Structure 1
Amino acid sequence: MSHPLTSRVTGPVLTPDDEGFSDEVAAHNRAVVHAPDVAVGATSTQDVVETVRWAAEQGMPVHVQATGHGATTPVTSGVLLTTHRLGGVAVDPVARVATIGAGAAWTDVVPVADAHGLTPVAGSSAHVGVVGYLLGGGLGPFARSHGFSSDRLESVTVVTGTGEVVEASAGEHPELFWALRGGKTGLGVVTQVRLLLVEMPALYAGTLFFDIEHIDTVLRGWLAWTATADPDTTTSAAIVRFPPLEVVPPFLRGRTVLLLRVARPGDEGAGAAAAAPLRALAPAFLDTVGVLPVARSAEIHNDPTEPGPSWVRGLLLDRADGDLASTWLAHVGPDASHPFVAAELRHVAGATGPDVPGGSAVSGRGAAFVLGIVGADPSRFGEMPAAADAIVQAVAPWASAEVNPNFAGFGTASWAPSTADRLTRVRRTYDPAGVFA
């Protein structure tokens, strides 16, 4: 017997007994396995409308997934609405605006924009879904020079909890638009966004690789350098314990290293001057920092592209000093015992501080750093919550009261109390029955 939704939507409607169900609901993060009552693969905004309306009629919650990079909680009931079929990217080079379908990843947007000499202010991973990233604010390798990626949202097409299609912008449904710029979840199903692109004719970027004996010196030197860093230069320092696996390049296999990532829009001379103090911290065994085509900016972080299991926890820091460096190294440095493959500090602030005209719901505008820890060994996932809690407790003197949802991972996102209250009011307005989980 066919599912009742089959006659209402054009996309696939799958239940757990159907062939293809597991593939349809699979998240990029394989550590999370979804098992909803039904999965609907939306092929149009109307498919989303019909699915939301049907779910509301049945009193069932609606969950939404594009790529599932940020999946942390298994969906065990209700409807999982997948939006990866809602692709498409079109660029208006005169207005410098990209119209992007909800299923698109940055890999879909970057080449289309680049053909017009433009680029989106994207995240560190090109394979992350555009919409989920923007709804959380979005802090990428151009955070200090260009701010939160959601600051460049022009308008958003949303299906509300009542099944109504609305266009949210500064002029229409401004409260919803405010919430969508950083409020992340429970606000509706986004089917399309329009995003302002930027011109970035030159980029000086890449990674400095430091061996284990230099980690202490480089981390401390880099943190001290950030106090007077060039406002156009975004950097991060990640201590990585590369496993002895064939998927890892031979020269990194089984090594513990510090990756110091650098990104500065602008010409080679200014970039080299900005990076010079970092190069002087210690001898790097590999230096890829140099002129980089903007369309290849994902190479700065070289995040994994294939689905796999991961465990992530993050928070924001208001400041950093020598004592933070000592605390960080004691917990995730070369001599520390912990289950994580990578521990990263990203220097932000700069252009992330000022809010957009009309305001936004972004969490973390006052933060100076993003802290992130990543685990990839499923056999050790059971150790990670307690290990992460210990790290979070240790860095509490430097931590922000807010936690950005894109970095919270298996932790809990948080906003300023006034922002959280306002988000609650917006959700009640646009989803009065609480359809969206």
Structure 2
Amino acid sequence: MRRLTTTQADFQAQLDALLAFETAQNPEVDAAVARILADVKQRGDEALVDYTACFDGVAAASMADLTLDGEALEAAYRRLPAERCEALEAAAERVRRYHEKQLQPSWQYCEDDGTVLGQAVTPLDRVGLYVPGGKASYPSSVLMNAIPAKVAGVGEIAMVVPTPRGERNDLVLAAAHVAGVDRVYTIGGAQAVAALAYGTATIAQVDKITGPGNQYVAAAKRAVFGVVGIDMVAGPSEILVICDGGTDPDWIAMDLFSQAEHDEIAQSILLCPDAGYLGRVAASIERLLPAMPRRDIIAASLANRGALIEVRDLDEAAAIANRIAPEHLELSVAEPWALQPKIRHAGAIFMGRFASEALGDYCAGPNHVLPTSRTARFASPLGVYDFQKRSSLIYVSEAGAQTLGRIASTLAHGEGLPAHARSAEYRLND
């Protein structure tokens, strides 16, 4: 894991190199995805059955064999040990309670002449949730995507999850039951995205697709955007820790591991003004890594994109954090509330020594679907607002039309649009 210091003459260049990540689209992946999307659009359920047999090794007579209703989801929940059911319910309740605070009401106001302006906030009708399957099974993703949609009032939630070799994960299906998912289809890949975006005889077209997936899923979501909405095209997971040197170094090492274990291109960075402490964290990493089940992935991630960076002070650390705009930011310092106002760009900010990023992944309450690859400069966590849309309300009184009509007429003539002007002028009394 590389060691850097901000006093180095080439620090900015080294930081830029560390942050660099190739986000360009892969032409081969895009071409393969385009063929799959076109095929599903044309052949519908038949294509889904064929692709599921080809990619997942699951032979199905029809989509009925790849569809799970509410009773099947409840049965999966019943099969779980009580401890896991209780954990799912507790996490779901915390996520639900947090997201209920995000509900946006409709509003309006009346002007003196009787004109009424406002905004109608309404939920989406139908949402599709993509959940990875097989070894990468994430019940937490089900909760984080489905619960905000339910809180928003979405009418129907359809979930797709691949089941390689027919392996169904009861914890994922139970999470769907707890979160209120209406129906699950055991399909995945670009073909599942196509089914949600275009609809088939079995799967109704959705209005928006959310949830993580591999590069084919990401390329498919990018391709269908405009036909449907999407949450984001996410990059590798990231964690940035700012520490004042007062936290147990083993804690920080494990926090860095928590993101590095996702994959070899995840990013874990520590900023600290204490060079000696950075050395202690490095020693903790070396000592703890051999015992980690995913040590090879962690080691590759830390070597490829990780760094321990010595800063002049916490103010400089905050400035660098704003430059990085990380997905996850831990403020592992004595006075996190004093440092937090200096942070402008981060997906989620974890405050204090006891706020490990892992708590946010599962049960703290805020959403764990966060902007990556520096997009926290302009993007926000997934929330209830992603499952609501807004319509402007414009009621114009006769008196209001006299004022607004003259303004509109003047501007329309200035833009060379006489029909616009005439439309407003027709409603003038003189």
- Which band: TM-score by shorter chain? under 0.3
Rg comparison, structure with higher value? 2
Q: Going by fraction, where is helix more abundant, 1 or 2? A: 2
TM-score (norm 2): 0.27
Name the structure, 1 or 2, with higher relative contact order (CA <8 Å, separation 6+). Answer: 2
